[in-house]
Chain A
């Protein structure tokens, strides 16, 4: 019999976990999800009514204004649901959520408007204390946390974040590796209550294919308890079966499929359309003040009933110009 030997913990991030880890609960939840090839197509509103609750931990993919589930985000804002805990990666969705004051706790990696500078919506909510808890991570760390969840394991070791305040303000722990005896950071698995991912094409069952970079769709889709997909095109399952190597998200992960052409607008979609630069620049100006952002939210979200009314407002002509 070996003696009870403990592995030294050298450092622990100060923050408690925003989202607890329950490996067997996740397995049991996944067991209950249907494995039948049923039709999962519904509207944005139906999906949010059915799957999203106040206080849920929600996640978005991809990033910035690239392949963003914007039609779902606008519907989430209109729903009035609130007090969300979020993964702070994926920028434009969060700008709208900050404006609507829907966010309480953030696993924070990077929130900014990239070349257009800092996000004033984020600053207003964080600096005022409307956001009550912020836990820091790096981009790779957040994605590796999804990877751990997707593996069904409680944590994953990494050589990122070591020695920094980023680690001090996280929930990571630094231990002595039992194999190499070097210090290594352990990242806790990150499970998402409801995930939102926008894809190029999917069938009615939720088999999804993505063009261009896949960002962290593979990892996050497998870390979600409930996964809502919006897609530019609904294709026959036969078309999925012709190129099964392109399927990033298989149907059994997916709870709802929403047909949302131009669903990433004003962002871009690989091989399909470009970012609407004049609109985005207008948003950048509006978001600099609370009043400006309120106007933007009224005009582009609250005064519209659904994604189709947004598409009508933007107009066929403009969307054609953006189409590649």
Chain B
């Protein structure tokens, strides 16, 4: 019997499962922090979380509330500064990077800067922060998104963070490091990857109870489909227990 779980808990578990043991991952505020903490407790004890203001290799016993707070270097291997960790990514040491945004397009480009016109914005968003650097320098980036048509758009208002830009070869043409780019999009409906040839977003697996039609009608651009679309397991009892008792006992993300 599987327990009841919230949409956030499902997102956290899906993101956690993408993280591999013995790798480095750039961790931003919110769900990636919970996912990294869960991954360390479940299958990836040697996951090295990297926080942009200098925390490297923390043991995530208590949920950080900010990318620079003391919990981001709790029992860490190193506490340096922003230049060190960003340069580490630029030298090719960081495998995964987690990203979010208000809008994403089929090439995985992300907007976290502005809704509407830059000079006269409808909504001014928080801005790039480390996102552009993570999207430029990490080998594989994973976007965590709420899935609806206002967010999955044919044309986004502003490219804050590079995905595959205008398509195959565009990152290299722009001067971005060879072999880097978007890897997964984890949403409340599904997990997507990218087509090797066209670099367009491709549906890989569906969350429990979600149909392909639901994903299509929630996306503002034409999706590609994997040959065998699989189903994501709901959060296991073990994942939920660790999430609720250890990772987020105060229930900030329930």
Q: What residues of chain A have their CB less than 8 Å away from a CB belonging to chain B? A: 62-67, 88, 108-112, 114-115, 118-119, 122-123, 126-127, 129, 134, 136-141, 143-144, 147, 158-166, 169, 174, 182-185, 212-219, 268, 270-271, 274-275
Contact status of A268 and B113, CB under 8 A, knowing A114-B29, A139-B128? no
Interfacial chain B residues near A127, Cβ < 8 Å: 121-124
Contact between A136 and B127, CB atoms less than 8 A apart: yes
Binary flags per residue of B67-96, CB closer than 8 Å to A gives 1, else 0: 111101100000111110010001000000
Contact status of A112 and B126, CB under 8 A, knowing A159-B176, A162-B162? yes
Contact between A161 and B126, CB atoms less than 8 A apart: no
Interfacial chain B residues near A274, Cβ < 8 Å: 70
Complex Cα distance, B55 from A310, in Å, reads 31
Contact between A65 and B66, CB atoms less than 8 A apart: yes
Nearest-neighbour CB distance to chain A for B65, whole angstroms, equals: 5
Name the residue among A109, A110, A137 with the largest chain B CB count within 10 angstroms: A110
Interfacial chain A residues near B229, Cβ < 8 Å: none
Contact between A166 and B29, CB atoms less than 8 A apart: no
Complex Cα distance, B174 from A165, in Å, reads 12
Nearest-neighbour CB distance to chain A for B244, whole angstroms, equals: 18
Contact between A216 and B80, CB atoms less than 8 A apart: no
Apart from A110-B129, A159-B136: 18 A-B pairs, beta carbons within 8 A: A63-B67, A88-B127, A109-B128, A112-B127, A118-B126, A123-B123, A159-B90, A160-B133, A163-B159, A164-B160, A165-B158, A165-B160, A182-B175, A213-B73, A214-B80, A215-B81, A275-B65, A275-B69
Contact status of A143 and B83, CB under 8 A, knowing A119-B126, A213-B54, A268-B70? yes
List 26 contacting pairs A-B, 8 Å CB cutoff, sorted by A: A63-B68, A64-B69, A66-B69, A109-B128, A114-B66, A115-B29, A115-B252, A126-B121, A126-B124, A138-B129, A138-B133, A140-B83, A140-B130, A140-B133, A141-B133, A147-B83, A159-B90, A160-B86, A163-B162, A163-B170, A163-B174, A165-B118, A212-B70, A213-B79, A215-B68, A219-B81
Name the residue among A139, A143, A144 with the largest chain B CB count within 10 angstroms: A139
Contact between B162 and A62, CB atoms less than 8 A apart: no
Interfacial chain B residues near A213, Cβ < 8 Å: 53-55, 68, 72-73, 79-81
Complex Cα distance, B175 from A216, in Å, reads 26
Interfacial chain B residues near A108, Cβ < 8 Å: 127
In the complex, B14 has a CB within 8 A of chain A = no
Question: Which applies to chain B's interface (DSSP): helix, strand, loop or mixed?
Answer: loop
Interfacial chain A residues near B90, Cβ < 8 Å: 140, 158-160
Contact status of A66 and B68, CB under 8 A, knowing A126-B124, A139-B52? yes
In the complex, B161 has a CB within 8 A of chain A = yes
What 4 pairs across the A-B complex have the smallest Cβ distances? A183-B175, A110-B129, A163-B174, A213-B54
**In this complex, what residue of A is CB-closest to B165?**
A163
Contact between A139 and B113, CB atoms less than 8 A apart: no
Within 8 A of A (CB), among B153-207: 158-162, 165, 170-171, 173-177
Nearest-neighbour CB distance to chain A for B182, whole angstroms, equals: 13
Interfacial chain B residues near A165, Cβ < 8 Å: 113, 118, 158-160
Q: What residues of chain B have their CB less than 8 Å away from a CB belonging to chain A? A: 29-30, 52-55, 65-70, 72-73, 79-83, 86, 90, 109, 113, 118, 120-133, 136-137, 158-162, 165, 170-171, 173-177, 252
**In this complex, what residue of B is CB-closest to A216?**
B82
Complex Cα distance, B137 from A216, in Å, reads 19
Complex Cα distance, B162 from A324, in Å, reads 41
Contact between B82 and A139, CB atoms less than 8 A apart: yes
**In this complex, what residue of A is CB-closest to B133?**
A140
Complex Cα distance, B124 from A98, in Å, reads 14
Interfacial chain B residues near A268, Cβ < 8 Å: 69-70
Contact status of A139 and B86, CB under 8 A, knowing A169-B118, A213-B68? yes
Nearest-neighbour CB distance to chain A for B181, whole angstroms, equals: 11
Complex Cα distance, B51 from A66, in Å, reads 14
Contact between A111 and B127, CB atoms less than 8 A apart: yes
Complex Cα distance, B178 from A159, in Å, reads 11
**In this complex, what residue of A is CB-closest to B119?**
A134
Complex Cα distance, B162 from A164, in Å, reads 6
Complex Cα distance, B177 from A216, in Å, reads 25
Complex Cα distance, B132 from A158, in Å, reads 12
Interfacial chain A residues near B65, Cβ < 8 Å: 114-115, 275
Interfacial chain A residues near B176, Cβ < 8 Å: 159, 162-163
Nearest-neighbour CB distance to chain A for B43, whole angstroms, equals: 25
